[in-house]
Structure 1
């Protein structure tokens, strides 16, 4: 049976709202949390970008649900040694219930330090080395590392959880999925793609956890939900390499003018029909996912949590 969690959006909500949503998610019966890690929102209409590590610290004090970053990019904006320290502290705060989700990131967030944005094959190599650095530091030993992309000089992390922080790797194509299989403790992605799940398991992932994320827009009517989803998350339908290469929210706004409300209607479950929402969760379950994280688009969080508590979550099994 698939486990259902809630996806906290750092692009769309501020830190106090995210903490409130985490409480409500636990009360509604969600079993775990995802939280995004962004420097910028995708679109100006989303309008937020709190620092995820501060938010995780606050979450650890109000909820007992396990938390995964979905996902942190330890390549350019933040050195993997700093990510290792942040993840270790988060795991202590969450009493071991923290997983570091990592991925190759987007120029939207990573270009802000002025460093060049690498090509996809280079980013995969950088991520593999970054995972190695993080794991070395999570041993608690004095660590020096001189690799192709990263240098660590006499570093030791003193505040560590009892067990090493699990590292899950995000993938949307074969190269990153194969990296997840050989270097990660789990795999995460955002579409119910059975082929990727099978590739992950075949290449060495075995029975390690597979996480998936989806967005919905619970609303009084389908039309209301479609309008809200289109206004706030039309960027989700941009094709190919655009999401990883555009540098600013203004660029995503311009590119997403090509995305119609009808396209959004086909992508997201919008409106008050619990069957439509349940269908999206079951698509991930049928594709072999172990965990599914659901994000409610827009401000109507209370109605979403009440509806899912009474009409959707009890039927997932």
Structure 2
């Protein structure tokens, strides 16, 4: 049976707001949490980007829900040995209710130290080696590693959960889906893509869990919802690899000038039509996802949670 979680947007909200949204999500009947991991927001209108590991520590004390990063990049900006320590500590704080969602990242967040931004096939190689390093560290054994991209010397995690942290891999293309099937404990994506699930399962994913994220903008005024979604998340409708290669929020603002409100309205559920919200979620259910994480765009969080608690989630079997 499909489970429904809430997707916390670090790009839009302060740390305390994220914690309060997690409380509201649990009260509304959502069963788990995703949280984005960014150094920058996508644009200045979003306006936030707290350090995700601090927020996860707060979430561990505020709610009883499982938490997953969606997603962390252990490739350039942060060494995988450091990500492993952060993930292991989070899993201990959450009594094992933590999954590490990882991906190859975006220049927006990862180039800030002046490192070169590798092309996508190289980042996939780096991600695979990073997973090898993190899995070895999750054992609690002392390890050394001298690979093509990473060096670890005499490293040991002393604070580790009883079971290794599950690692889910984000995929937005065929090669990434195959890599997720080969090295991941699950698949993460943002589209109702049954073909990606099939490729993941054929590549070694088998019956491992597949999860997706879905953005909506609830408002009693649908036109206002479209304006909000366009102002805050026009970047989500940019084509191709722009999301991976543009380096600053200002560049995303410039590119997003090409995205019209009509395009946002055509590709995103906006307003308070119950049937439209249910249909948007069911598209992911029908594609075969085990878990779907829904994110409300904008500040009207309480209205969204009331709407989903009373009108949407009951139609989805909750």
TM-score normalised per structure 2: 0.99
Q: Give the corresponding residue for 2:228.
A: 228
Counterpart CA distance in 1 for 2:198 and 2:283 is 15
Q: Give the corresponding residue for 2:84.
A: 84
Contact 2:211 2:292 in 1 (8 A): yes
Contact 2:40 2:108 in 1 (8 A): yes
CA-CA distance at 1:182 after TM superposition? 0.6
CA-CA distance at 1:275 after TM superposition? 1.0
Counterpart CA distance in 1 for 2:216 and 2:248 is 24
CA-CA distance at 1:274 after TM superposition? 1.2
Q: Give the corresponding residue for 2:307.
A: 307
Name stretches of at least 5 consecutive residues in structure 2 with no aligned partner: none
Deviations 1:177-222 (A, max 9, x none): 1110010000000000111011111111111000000100000121
Q: Give the corresponding residue for 2:113.
A: 113
How many equivalent residue pairs? 317
Give the SS at the match of 1:258: coil
Deviations 1:257-306 (A, max 9, x none): 01000110011110011111111110111001000000000000010000
Runs of at least 4 residues off by over 2 Å: none
Q: Give the corresponding residue for 1:271.
A: 271
2:239 is the alignment partner of 1:242: no
Name stretches of at least 5 consecutive residues in structure 1 with no aligned partner: none
Deviations 1:223-243 (A, max 9, x none): 111000000000000000100
Deviations 1:140-193 (A, max 9, x none): 001000000000000000000010000000000011111100100000000001
2:37 is the alignment partner of 1:37: yes
Q: Give the corresponding residue for 2:254.
A: 254
Contact 2:234 2:259 in 1 (8 A): yes
- Counterparts of 1:41-56 in structure 2, within 5 Å, are 41-56=41-56
Counterpart CA distance in 2 for 1:18 and 1:171 is 25
Deviations 1:71-102 (A, max 9, x none): 00000100000000000000000110000000
Counterpart CA distance in 1 for 2:223 and 2:74 is 39
Q: Give the corresponding residue for 1:154.
A: 154
Counterpart CA distance in 2 for 1:2 and 1:278 is 13
Counterpart CA distance in 2 for 1:214 and 1:236 is 11
Counterpart CA distance in 2 for 1:89 and 1:125 is 26
Give the SS at the match of 1:5: strand
Contact 2:179 2:203 in 1 (8 A): no
2:64 is the alignment partner of 1:69: no
Deviations 1:18-75 (A, max 9, x none): 0000000000000100000000000100000000000000000010100010000000
- Counterparts of 1:7-22 in structure 2, within 5 Å, are 7-22=7-22
Q: Give the corresponding residue for 2:198.
A: 198
Counterpart CA distance in 1 for 2:267 and 2:94 is 34
Counterpart CA distance in 1 for 2:233 and 2:314 is 27
Contact 2:146 2:152 in 1 (8 A): yes
